[in-house]
Amino acid sequence: MKRTDISDLFPDATKEQIDKLMSINGADINSAKGDLDGLKGQLAEAQNKITQLQNGSGQSDQLAAANKAIEDLKAELAGMKTVENLRQIRDKVAADKKVPVNLLTGETEEACADQADKILAFAQSHGYPVVPDGGEAHHDSAPQARDKFAEWAKDNL
């Protein structure tokens, strides 16, 4: 827009009014140019991404990272399944044989059952020792110093 265009549309407009309209118009144009520059940058960025995707560049790194993460998760899951399987085997044998589960360390049901049998055999063969005197404390007939003192304290205090 030019000053002459405004004068032609509004012949009675003053110079101040025309200047004011021109400054408003200039601000609007500068704002639109800024928006346009931003949109041009976004368009160029999007076109670059489209070109990369069409060429396949950038995807191979992401695909390799995703495949590695999948393999790591598969390995972790396999380990967890192994641990859970061992826990189930040991719990079953412990319940069947009636031995504490924390004493079983076998990797298979057969190995755990063999361990449980050995634990039971050991527990049954080693009971409490036989005590010939019934576990009574032996007393000497000679009085001890503490007994003498206790008797003296009882009589004198």
Three-class SS of the chain: CCHHHHHHHCCCCCHHHHHHHHHHHHHHHHHHHHHHHHHHHHHHHHHHHHHHHHHCCCHHHHHHHHHHHHHHHHHHHHHHHHHHHHHHHHHHHHHHHCCCHHHCCCCCHHHHHHHHHHHHHHHHHCCCCCCCCCCCCCCCCCCCHHHHHHHHHHHHC
pLDDT in tens, 102-116: 999 999 999 999 999
pTM of the model: 0.42
pLDDT in tens, 52-69: 777 766 667 788 888 999
Q: What is the pLDDT of residue 141?
A: 67
The answer on pLDDT for 157 being more than 70 is yes
Give 128's pLDDT tier (boundaries 50, 70, 90): low
